[in-house]
Amino acid sequence: MILKESEIGDPDIIKPILGNPFKEPGKLLTATGSSYFFVKEITDTKGNPLPLKRENMKGIFQRYEKGLMLFLNGSNYQNAILIDFDSIKKITLIKGKESVSAWKSPILAFLVQRGFKFKYTKKFIPGLGLRMKETELFILTNNYRIRMATNGFSYSSQLKYFSKLKLGNKFEPVNSDKN
């Protein structure tokens, strides 16, 4: 279900579908949201673009008892998509590939590419830079196909966030470094 800006805070619409906002047991203050994602594509299951698609749209997920609310933000508008857990067919989180630039030291680049990790690399080894392609997120539900991307370095936090949803084999993390 797609909500207009005026409907986003209406508990009479949200609660029957998603329940209450999720509260992590044993914690008083809990972040239940993901990081920001850049929306690449949102379509229905037949591939038709949804009418809410606009340029430079960003999205963030908020966890509820029975699903996720995807808040969509643009420069002067907001929408939300309600995604109940039962409608989710597949969520795939893909880690971007790491690359090392070591224009001053090909030996260091070779070591890092072979798995030798340097702590505080940028601080102590000038000329050595770690680059990461963006983390991609694909969600397939009964009604939508969603493709999003975020900073490559946020893969670990997003892996933790989506793993906590306990979706079983519906959630597939992909580490491109191990392919």
Of 135, 125, 147, which is closest to residue 98 (Cα–Cα)? 135
Domain range 2-95+133-170, CATH class: mainly beta
Spell out where 66-167 has E strands. Answer: 67-73, 78-84, 88-95, 98-102, 128-132, 135-141, 144-150
pTM, two decimals, is 0.77
Instruction: Report the distance separating Cα 40 and Cα 86, nearest Å.
Output: 24
pLDDT at site 109: 62
CA distance 167 to 100: 34
Q: Who's near 63: CB < 8 A, 6+ residues apart?
A: 21, 22, 32, 33, 164, 165
- pLDDT digits (tens), the chain, 179 positions: 888 888 888 889 999 999 988 887 777 666 577 778 999 988 888 888 877 656 788 999 999 999 999 999 887 788 899 999 999 999 999 988 876 665 556 666 666 665 555 554 444 455 556 667 889 999 999 999 999 998 877 888 898 889 988 899 999 988 866 54
The segment(s) of the chain belonging to CATH 2.30.29 are: 2-95+133-170
How far is 72 from 92, CA to CA, in rounded Å? 19
Give me the half-sphere count of Cα atoms (radius 13 Å) on the Cβ side of residue 72. Answer: 25
| Cβ atoms of 63 and 33 closer than 8 Å | yes
Tell me the pairing of strands 98-102 and 144-150. unpaired
Output the pLDDT for position 129: 62
The pair of structure tokens assigned to 171 is 């959630």
